[in-house]
Amino acid sequence: MAFNIVLVEPEIPQNAGNIARTCAVTGSKLHLVRPLGFEVTDKQLKRAGLDYWHFLDITYYDSIEEVMDKYYNGKNFWFFSTKAKNIHSDVKYSDGDFLVFGKETKGLPESLLKKHYDECVRLPMMDETRSLNLSNSVCVGVYEGLRQLGYPNLKTQGEIPKR
C-alpha cells in the first residue's frame, strides 16, 4: 500500500485521468467522491490515464462523510488546501494515509477545513497566485509522502540504454 488519494467532487476529466495515472504508478488507491463533473467513461479521462487503468484500485462514494466514517481514525487524513497553515513537507506521512483534495473551482468545504485545521496542509506558492493545478498538487503530495517513506515497493533506479 502507498497512499489513498481522495478527490472530492472533481470536475475536470483530464485532471482525474492524470491523477489516476499517478495512483497507478505509485500503488496508491483512488477514492472518488460524487458528484463527478464527468462520466467515468469520458474519452478525455481515459486518454489522460493512458493504458494504466488495469493497475488502478478505485472506489466511489456519495460524500466525504462516507469516506471518513469508513476510514478516519483521527490521525490518517491530510486535507490539502491553499488556506492551511502547515506546509505539506513539514508533516509526517504514514503508509496508507489519506490525502484529500477538493474540486478544482472551490477546493474542500470550509466547514471540513475548520473541523480538521491541524490536519490541513498547503503547497507553498507565490502570494499573487491562486492555486496549483489539481493533478500537479496530488502528484506533489503523493511524492513527498513517498519520499518520507523511502519509496516503498517502487523502482528507484533506472538504467540509460547503451547505444
Mean pLDDT of the chain: 91
Find the farthest-apart pair of alpha carbons in the chain and give their distance in angstroms, rounded: 58
DSSP state of 92: P
C-alpha cell at 52: 494504466
pTM of the model: 0.92
Domain layout of the chain by residue ranges:
4-149
* pLDDT of 50: 56
Angle at 46 between CA 41 and CA 52, to 5 degrees: 125
4-149 under CATH 3.40.1280.10, yes or no: yes
Average pLDDT over residues 82-99: 96
Q: Which residue has the higher pLDDT, 87 or 46?
A: 87
pLDDT in tens, 11-41: 998 898 899 999 999 999 999 999 988 777 6
| CA proximity to 78, closest of 57, 60, 93 | 93
Residue 85 clears pLDDT 70, i.e. is over it: yes
